[in-house]
Amino acid sequence: MRPCDRVRMTLSQVAPDRPPLDGAFRPEVWKSIRAYLGMHDDDQIKNMLGFDFRQAVIEPSAEFASTAVPAPVEAYVGVGSRDLVRILPTGEFEDDRGIRRVVDSTNTYFRFTHHPLRGAESPDAFTFPNPDLPERYAHISGQVQRFKDRYMVQVETGNIFRDAWELRGFEQFLMDTRLNHAFTTRLLDRITDHKIADVSRMIQAGADIIQMAGDIASGQGMLISPAWWRAEIKPRLARVITATRRPGVYYYFHSDGAMQTVIPDLIEIGFDIVDPLQPECMDVFALKRQYGAHITFRSTLSSQRTLPFGSVEDVRTEVRARIRELGHDGGLILAPSNAVQPDVPLANLLAVYDETLKSVGAM
Amino acid sequence: MPPLGLEALFVAIIDGDLARTKELVQRAIDQGTPPEEIVSRWMVPAMAEVGARFERQEYFVPEMLVSARAMQAGLALLKPLLTQRKVKPVATVVIGTVRGDLHDIGKNLIAMMLEGAGFQIVDLGVDVPAERFVQAVREHQADVLGLSALLTTTMPQMGAVIRAIVDAGLRDNIKVLVGGAPVTARFAAEVGADGYGESAAVAARVARKVLALDSAAP
């Protein structure tokens, strides 16, 4: 079975031979996998692990790229964008939106130091990257040419909420939602218009899955009120999907945390996949019974407990339970939730893939 | 419910109305209300109510931020008077996110809620090495040390900080609280902390408990 057919069956809530597999690993984890397997071609490693997806990224403009360097540590520089930055004399790194970050003391993660709309009177002070530049979608076209008709090619972008706080600053934007309605709605409208232009072109370039990512919840519940999200974010996400959807294109929503309250809303506006459904803060089996006929669950594996702290057998048991309870009628993509951190024992990580590959025919 | 008098101030903080909070605090000062009474009878209960609403998921992070901002503006007017009258804070808390971890949303909310409950906060920020915690605890004669981590990979740093506090001979005089998404009560016990709070809403309650501040209450 071709990986892309496996995914399409799953997304139509029909069980294929096994759940599709995917994953994102921290660079340190990639290093240990390569060393352990004695393989250097990540694409071959993905094949061996059973990945059914390939990732593509959005490129900055050629003009920006000509003065930029790869980010000193691999990390998300803008959701789904290539890690290219300009290094400022202050030691900060600036991406093509003017967002600045510094690296932490262990040289592993970024911290925000500047947001382009911080302190701005109007959201119009920000100029979005030009969606008419063909180089922006060149990597997508390349991945499509290389992988289309075998794998699903997916591209990540912000889920509007995230775009807004990245441009404005997290606390400032959250306060804006309470104190500055005109600013908030104007900013969200501008982001939505740009998102429609951007996503349309990603799809024209051949992307199969549009991943819209950004955390709207913590382990305890929503960061923002569900009522506010429904009033301000949901209709705008709906606008993006309605304006851009083509046959065979799927929409994916990512948020960490206890965000289950908005799952029916995501289904209503046309999302096909929800990720990662952290089992530490929600009952994924109950959610499957409630919503499983209408949306595909991605991950559902425990990245805070089982993967880093459990035994290999704990991981295998968790994977088998997911396949049995969540994947029996399709609607399940297995992947460790979030980017796998270096504290996850390699044997545990590999067990996710091995156990899923072993399940062929058992579904 | 708070006693009769400054209900409007109580409401202004809950509503996150900064201008009104400042106006009402200033009026209370001008009318001669003792500053410690303005804080403890009206402002602290208002932030406690904000915390309770957050816990019940009626309030979310934006509501908490605007209330904390109003509270801080009110406190800024009162602080010189409190210092002048030698009013001591409930306790001093040194707080920060441990080394290698840059996540600060949870830590900032905890700091706001503790400040709102009358604690003095020394916020060391994120990616804080053990020795800076030790230094700050000593310098500020802190009563509570709050450690935050979001990553499973940085949680062990909490143990390293606690060991550094022990090695510096400061452990007997301080209560250590830990928190963050992957942190559990069991982890807190294993790592040798005195307490654990699972959300910002309970932070003040947990801090008061480990300091035994309420045990003498009738």
Average pLDDT over residues A150-160: 97
**Cβ A57 vs Cβ A139: under 8 Å:** yes
Q: Taking CA atoms, what residue in A is nearest to B129?
A: A105
* More confident: B217 or B62: B62
* More confident: A26 or B142: B142
Average pLDDT over residues A29-48: 95
Q: Is the pLDDT of residue B217 over 50?
A: no
**Min distance B153 CA to chain A CA atoms (Å):** 6
Instruction: Please say whether the dihedral angle defined by the alpha carbons of residues B1, B7, B13 and B15, taken in this order, is positive or negative.
Output: positive
Q: What distances in angstroms separate CA A355 from CA A1, A53, A310, A316, B110, one per listed residue?
A: 18, 18, 15, 6, 41
Could you report the per-residue pLDDT of A64-106, keeping only the tens digit for each? 999 999 887 765 556 678 888 999 999 899 999 999 998 888 8
Instruction: Say how far apart CA B71 and CA A303 lie, in whole Å.
Output: 37
Give the pLDDT score at A60.
94
Q: What are the residues of chain A with a beta carbon less than 8 Å away from any beta carbon of chain B? A: 104-106, 108-111, 170-171, 174-175, 177-179, 218-225, 228, 303-304, 308-309, 341-343
Instruction: Say how far apart CA A292 and CA A204 lie, in whole Å.
Output: 30
Domain boundaries of chain A, sorted by first residue: 3-53+117-358
DSSP per-residue codes, A227-274? HHIIIIIHHHHHHHHHHH--TT-EEEEE--SS-GGGHHHHHHHT--EE
Could you report the per-residue pLDDT of B14-71, keeping only the tens digit for each? 999 999 999 999 999 999 999 999 999 999 999 999 999 998 999 999 999 999 999 9
Q: Is the pLDDT of residue A320 over 70?
A: yes
In chain A, what percentage of residues exceed pLDDT 90? 86
**Min distance A108 CA to chain B CA atoms (Å):** 7
Inter-chain residue contact A223 with B61, CB threshold 8 Å: yes
Average pLDDT over residues B64-89: 93
Q: Interior CA angle at A262 toward A260 and A267, to 5°? A: 105
Provide, as residue numbers in chain B, all residues whose Cβ is less than 8 Å from the Cβ of A341: 151-153
Give the pLDDT score at B193.
95
Q: Which residue of B62, B105, B106 is in closest CB contact with A178?
A: B62
Q: Is the pLDDT of residue A266 over 90?
A: yes
> CB-based burial of residue A227 (10 Å sphere; 0-12 exposed, 13-18 middle, 19+ buried)?
exposed
Provide, as residue numbers in chain A, all residues whose Cβ is less than 8 Å from the Cβ of B102: 104, 109-111
Inter-chain residue contact B61 with A106, CB threshold 8 Å: no
Q: To the nearest whole number, what is the mean pLDDT of chain B?
A: 92
> CB-based burial of residue B192 (10 Å sphere; 0-12 exposed, 13-18 middle, 19+ buried)?
middle
Encoded tokens for B54: 């957050």
Spell out the domains of chain B, with CATH numbers in brackets.
7-84 (1.10.1240.10), 92-210 (3.40.50.280)
* pTM, two decimal places: 0.91
Architecture of domain A3-53+117-358: Alpha-Beta Barrel (3.20)
**Cβ A216 vs Cβ A257: under 8 Å:** yes
Could you report the per-residue pLDDT of A180-238, keeping only the tens digit for each? 999 999 999 999 999 999 999 999 999 999 999 999 999 889 999 999 999 999 999 99
Q: How confident is the model at residue A108 (pLDDT cuts 50, 70, 90)?
A: confident
Which of A300, A284, A192 is CA-nearest to residue A243?
A: A192
Inter-chain residue contact B60 with A222, CB threshold 8 Å: yes
Q: Is the pLDDT of residue B98 over 70?
A: yes
Give the pLDDT score at A78.
61
Q: Is the pLDDT of residue A28 over 80?
A: yes
**Cβ B116 vs Cβ B44: under 8 Å:** yes
Q: What distances in angstroms separate CA A105 from CA A29, B102, B127, one per listed residue?
A: 19, 10, 7
DSSP A282: S
Residue of B50, B97, B98, B102 best to disrupt the A interface, most CBs of A under 10 A: B102
DSSP B39: I
Q: Is the pLDDT of residue B2 over 70?
A: no
Average pLDDT over residues B75-97: 93
Q: How confident is the model at residue A111 (pLDDT cuts 50, 70, 90)?
A: confident
Range with lowest mean pLDDT among A5-9, A119-123, B19-23, B178-182? B178-182
Q: Which residue of B100, B198, B199 is in closest CB contact with A108?
A: B100
